[in-house]
């Protein structure tokens, strides 16, 4: 039986399941088809894409991937946005500005054909760090290096520029990055400044959200450190930074720490790091027991927990997983299959 016929049979069975997904608690994952099928059987490929878009809109555990798009002249398929696995739900571009025509075409293709959303992170902590470094460098140089008069002025200017990228490049939304810190041991002055900075950041983002209601917004960071947690109710998912976690118990601990009053407990996403391309690095992307973090975290995320719901998995530097001896993006695809196992296999 040839590859096309095998896929056709599996796809037709999957299509029947997808059209009645409301009757099931799980959904049928979609296998990436042979790229040549687009030319060999356009009608079959069109039906596959329709099924893929239906899957995207069904109830399932989501997969976010952070894609390194820094290379503007690709020399590897791993550097092409449109080569990410079809079942990924959201691609987060690590370099959201200065997109080339090729990148824009690839973004348009995965959005139009496969229903994949493309967003970028808007990180408060990175903005604050940049400002603090500018101030420190100015003070050290003693040459009067121009620095904004205060952090909030710098924050406003940075956010105004960055948020315009959504419309400029037609992104599907943003990820609100905010780690912050606990205010428990702050002095009154420190707490006042902390609240002022947070209020400015969240206020600008909220204002933008009110004029971009068609855009997707997620929170990425430590929600427990927000003084005002109201914005979380408007975020589709709450992505917890757990890429440095090495055990399942630590994943549980991180989610428990984030599950405070005011934080919705039904939309958590945990994050993992891919294995390093440096073959001498046997720590990055691995758990303490030596297993791949992507695979082990997917198994953990597929379980049910009292008190909170894991809505999906986020994978940092997904490009690193492209080259595998078995298949491209092998560990990422295994994670997707683990999170959304086939109904037929039950």
C-alpha distances (whole Å) from 24 to each of 5, 317, 338 are 27, 33, 17
CA–CA distance, 222 with 280 (Å, rounded to integer) = 32
Choices 3.40.50.2300, 3.20.20.80, 1.20.58.220, 1.20.1110.10: CATH for 61-345: 3.20.20.80
Distance separating alpha carbons of residues 180 and 126, to the nearest angstrom: 11
**Which residues neighbour 47 within 8 Å (Cβ) at sequence distance 6 or greater?**
11, 15
Listing DSSP states for 103-172 in one string gives HHHHHHHHHHHH--EEEEEEEHHHHHHHHHHHHHHHHHH-S-----SSHHHHHHHHHHHHHHHHHHHT-S
Q: What is the pTM of this model?
A: 0.86
Rg (CA), the chain: 22
Give the helix/strand (H/E) hosting 194: helix 188-211
Residue 202, number of CB atoms within 10 A of its CB: 19
Domain ranges of the chain: 1-60, 61-345
> pLDDT at position 297, please?
98
Cα–Cα distance for residue pair 199/230, rounded to 1 Å = 12
Full pLDDT tens readout for the chain, 346 residues: 333 333 433 444 444 333 333 333 334 444 445 556 677 788 888 888 888 888 888 899 999 999 999 999 999 999 999 999 999 999 999 999 999 999 999 999 999 999 999 999 999 999 999 999 888 888 777 665 677 779 999 999 999 999 999 999 999 999 999 999 988 889 999 999 999 999 999 999 999 999 999 999 999 999 999 999 999 999 999 999 999 999 999 999 999 999 999 999 999 999 999 999 998 999 999 999 999 999 999 999 999 999 999 999 999 999 999 998 889 999 999 999 999 986 332 3
């Amino acid at each position: 039986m040839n590859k096309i016929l095998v896929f056709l049979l599996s796809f037709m069975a999957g299509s029947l399941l997808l059209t009645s997904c409301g009757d099931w608690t799980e959904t049928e994952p979609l296998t990436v088809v042979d790229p040549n099928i687009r030319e060999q059987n356009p009608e079959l490929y069109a039906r596959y894409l329709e099924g893929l878009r239906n899957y995207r809109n069904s109830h399932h555990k989501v997969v976010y991937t952070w894609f390194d798009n820094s290379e503007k002249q690709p020399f590897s398929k791993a550097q092409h946005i449109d080569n990410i696995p079809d079942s990924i739900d959201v691609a987060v571009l690590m370099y959201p500005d200065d997109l080339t025509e090729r990148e824009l075409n690839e973004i348009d293709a995965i959005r139009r054909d496969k229903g994949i959303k493309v967003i970028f992170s808007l990180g408060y902590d990175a903005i604050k760090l940049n400002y603090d470094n500018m101030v420190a460098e100015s003070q050290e140089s003693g040459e009067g290096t121009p620095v904004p008069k205060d952090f909030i002025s710098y924050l406003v200017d940075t956010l105004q520029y960055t948020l315009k990228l959504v419309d400029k490049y037609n992104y599907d939304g943003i990820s609100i990055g905010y780690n912050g810190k606990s205010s428990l041991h702050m002095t009154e002055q420190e707490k006042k400044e902390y609240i002022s900075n947070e209020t400015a950041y969240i206020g600008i983002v909220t204002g933008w959200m009110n004029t971009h209601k068609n855009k997707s917004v997620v929170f990425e960071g430590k929600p427990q450190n927000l003084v005002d947690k109201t914005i979380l109710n408007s975020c589709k998912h709450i992505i917890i930074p757990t890429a440095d976690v090495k055990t399942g118990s630590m994943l549980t601990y991180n989610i428990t720490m984030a599950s405070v009053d005011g934080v919705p407990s039904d939309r958590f996403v945990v994050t993992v790091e891919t294995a390093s391309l440096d073959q001498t690095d046997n720590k990055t992307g691995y758990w303490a027991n030596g297993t791949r973090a992507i695979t082990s975290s997917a198994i953990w995320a597929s379980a049910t927990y009292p008190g909170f719901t894991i809505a999906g998995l986020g994978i940092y530097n997904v490009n690193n997983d492209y080259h595998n001896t078995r298949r491209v993006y092998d560990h990422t695809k295994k994670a997707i299959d683990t999170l959304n196992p086939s109904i037929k296999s039950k």
